[in-house]
Amino acid sequence: MNYSIIFYIMGWILNFEAAFMVPPCIVALIYGEQAGWSFVITMALCLLIGVPLVIKKPKKQIFYTSEGFVTVSLCWVVMSIMGALPFLFSGSITSPVDALFETVSGFTTTGASILSDVEVLPKSILFWRSFTHWIGGMGVLVFILSLLPLTGGSHMNLMKAESPGPSVSRLVPKVRLTAKLLYSIYIFMTVVEILFLLAGKMPLFDAVTVTFGTAGTGGFAIKNNSIAGYSPYIQNVVTVFMILFGVNFNVYFLILMKRVGQAFRTEELRWYLIIIAVSIGIITVNTAGLYRSLGDALHHASFQVASIITTTGFATQDFDLWPQASKTILVLLMFIGACAGSTGGGVKVSRLVVLVKTVRKELIQFLHPQVIRKIKMDGKVVEHEVVRSINVFMVAYTLLFSLSVFLLAFDGEDLITNFTAVAATFNNIGPGLELVGPSKNFGIFSEPAKLVLIFDMLAGRLEIFPVLILFSRETWKKF
């Protein structure tokens, strides 16, 4: 195990986290808030630990898949711990477990909160909550990859461990250029959404923080009623951008390369849009009687479907009050999630498409044993290794999900609350149903239960295996 390069990258993570705290410090200065000192102290601690770790560059800079997984997992844990300190130092949250829950929820772009009243928080703390979504959306290591001159396959192994989806591919021959390209697209789309929101007369602070939540598909809001208090125009803008940020960023690369036809022929994108359209249609009809017009029903159905399938978690309505059919669709969308290679969570559309095709292939194999049939996506054969990894992922996903629901049962809450709480955290969505619905929060759970949900958020964001590998004895043996 190349421990020196692991600590080296962790040092850079801490240094960059210190830099990420400069914007909330500026916000504190603008609004004259004492909470700014909590960021200054945290920055000093990050640099105190981080700078010594990066002074000496490791002689051996190449590391492999297992080390990439360990590095990513440890970096996310350390980043979350340090990111929780401003909440504690400012007094915004007094419990260390609650502060860690809020921070992990931010970085993993989950959006589940233990706070019952966010409007009493200082502006700088609200900015930091939302900014953690933007940082975690594309992945802080993807950002660092575009800057650090690592050698060999190191870049790719880090990117595979952090990027959501069943596979990671280079958009251009060099991984560093791929990382830069991804962040360029991410930043451009972020700026465009801010401009659209400002055009709707949204205050600048609101526009920036809401955009951070949308871009990272996170869902932390700066209002207690989430997005419900804003105009229909603003809600529509957020709806469109939630869907856009849930698209595989490879599609945008293809569009930039003027390969528009190839971009829109992508199977995953096609099924993603079909699922969204069908879900909106059914929920619109099912909830039509709750609103003044079919247009209102369509508006709210579109927003909530976009919010849930992209695992953003914003809300314009308390969908826990919707009919059972609509709530069932939303719960199913929690599991489906967005596209691979997007900022969204969930199982991912591409995984489900491959799983359905695998079932179909097996059925045909039963009927015609002599027929050799390959699974294809976008006209290309899906390698057996990819199918195997998806199957293993689904087994691990099911086992961890079931275990989490079981552990939460000891808190004594009802099954729907526990089930959707795990679904909301494991799939990085935010709100669930019943006691963790969009109008409520996760503060009802005990600290042990919150630790289970913290693990679920990290495991869901990092696609399970980078987190599980930390608990393997083999991981820590030098080789």
Q: What angle do CA 183, 184, 185 make, to 5 degrees?
A: 90
Q: Which residues are annotated as a binding site?
A: 109-110, 218, 311-312, 428
Q: Which whole-number Å values give the CA distances from 385 to 379, 390, 391, 433, in the listed order?
A: 17, 9, 10, 37
**Spatial separation of the C-alpha atoms in residues 217 and 341, rounded to whole Å:** 13
- Chain centre distance of CA 85: 21
Q: Which residues are annotated as a binding site for K(+)?
A: 109-110, 218, 311-312, 428
As given in the structure block, the two tokens for residue 429 are 């969505």
- Report whether 375 contacts 387 (CB < 8 A): yes
Q: Write out the DSSP string of 178-211.
A: HHHHHHHHHHHHHHHHHHHHHHTT--HHHHHHHH
Q: Tokens 């240094």 correspond to what residue?
A: 15
**Spatial separation of the C-alpha atoms in residues 260 and 72, rounded to whole Å:** 34
Q: Please provide residue 21's backbone torsions phi and psi, each rounded to the nearest 5 degrees.
A: -85, -5
**Spatial separation of the C-alpha atoms in residues 103 and 101, rounded to whole Å:** 6
Helix (H) or strand (E) holding 298: helix 294-309
**Spatial separation of the C-alpha atoms in residues 391 and 386, rounded to whole Å:** 9
CB within 8 Å of 473: residues ≥ 6 apart: none
Q: Tokens 């989806």 correspond to what residue?
A: 165
**Spatial separation of the C-alpha atoms in residues 374 and 121, rounded to whole Å:** 55
**Spatial separation of the C-alpha atoms in residues 160 and 459, rounded to whole Å:** 14
Q: Write out the DSSP string of 333-359.
A: HHHH-S-TTSS--SS-HHHHHHHHHHH
For the chain, percent helix, then strand, then coil, each to nearest 5?
Answer: 70, 0, 30
